[in-house]
C-alpha cells in the first residue's frame, strides 16, 4: 500500500467524489457533480486543498482531504483534515491512521503547525486515541480537534 497525491492519480477523483458525497452530502443541496468539481483544484494545484489517496497496485483503498475549511462556524481555523474515508473491506488495517499522518506531513510541508478536524461525538475516542486534542464540543453537533503537523 502507498499513499499518493491525487495529482498523480487524477482518475481516482470520481471514486473519491462518490464515496465522500454518499457518506456526507446526500442530504444537502450539493450534487455529486458539484462535489466532484471541488476536487479539480486538488488535481491542478500544489497547495491546500490537497487530496491524498491510499492505493495498492492501482486499487483505491481510501482517501483524505487537507482543505482550508471544513466548518463554516469556525472560519478562523485552517487547514482541516477532512473527508477521511477507507473502503469497508480495507478497514481496521491502519490505513486511516496512515492517511491522517500523510495529511499532517503535507500540512507541515506547506508551513502549517496545526491541523484541525471535526467529527461526530461517537468518533471522538478514535481521534483522541490517535493524538488529537479536543478543543471544542458540540459546534453544530460536531466536536473540534487539533493536532500538530
The rounded percent of the chain whose pLDDT value lies above 70 is 100
Residue 142's pLDDT is what?
Answer: 96
**CATH number of the structural domain spanning residue 12:** 3.40.630.30
| Residue 138 neighbours by CB under 8 Å, 6+ apart | 121
Residue 111's pLDDT is what?
Answer: 95
Q: Which residue is it, cell 499518493?
A: 4
Q: For residue 37, which of 66, 17, 23 has the smallest C-alpha distance?
A: 17
Q: pLDDT confidence of 115, banded at 50, 70, 90?
A: very high
Q: pLDDT confidence of 139, banded at 50, 70, 90?
A: very high
Domain around 82: 2-148
DSSP string for 56-110: ETTEEEEEEEEES-S-GGGTT---EEEEEEE-GGGTTSSHHHHHHHHHHHHHHHT
Q: What is the pTM of this model?
A: 0.94
The tens digit of pLDDT for each residue in 12-50 reads 999 999 999 999 999 999 999 999 999 999 999 878 999
Residue 36 vs residues 67, 112, 120: alpha-carbon distances, Å? 14, 26, 24
Domains held by the chain: number = 1
Which cell numbers hold the place of 19? 464515496
pLDDT of residue 58 exceeding 90, the answer is: no
Q: Which residue is it, cell 477521511?
A: 84
pLDDT of residue 149 exceeding 90, the answer is: no
Residue 57 vs residues 40, 60, 61, 114: alpha-carbon distances, Å? 23, 9, 10, 32
The tens digit of pLDDT for each residue in 67-83 reads 999 999 999 999 999 99
Amino acid at each position: 500500500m502507498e499513499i499518493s497525491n491525487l495529482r498523480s492519480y487524477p482518475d481516482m477523483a470520481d471514486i473519491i467524489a462518490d464515496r465522500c458525497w454518499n457518506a456526507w452530502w446526500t442530504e444537502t443541496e450539493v450534487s455529486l457533480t458539484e462535489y466532484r468539481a471541488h476536487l479539480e483544484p486538488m488535481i491542478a494545484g500544489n497547495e491546500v486543498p490537497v487530496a491524498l489517496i491510499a492505493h495498492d497496485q492501482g486499487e483505491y483503498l481510501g482517501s483524505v482531504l487537507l482543505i482550508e475549511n471544513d466548518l463554516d462556524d469556525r472560519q478562523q481555523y485552517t487547514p482541516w483534515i477532512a473527508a477521511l474515508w477507507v473502503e469497508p473491506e480495507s478497514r481496521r488495517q491502519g490505513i486511516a491512521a496512515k492517511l491522517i499522518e500523510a495529511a499532517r506531513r503535507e500540512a507541515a510541508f506547506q508551513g502549517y503547525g496545526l491541523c484541525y478536524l471535526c467529527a461526530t461525538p461517537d468518533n471522538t475516542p478514535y481521534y483522541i486515541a490517535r493524538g488529537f486534542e479536543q478543543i471544542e464540543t458540540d459546534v453544530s453537533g460536531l466536536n473540534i480537534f487539533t493536532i500538530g503537523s
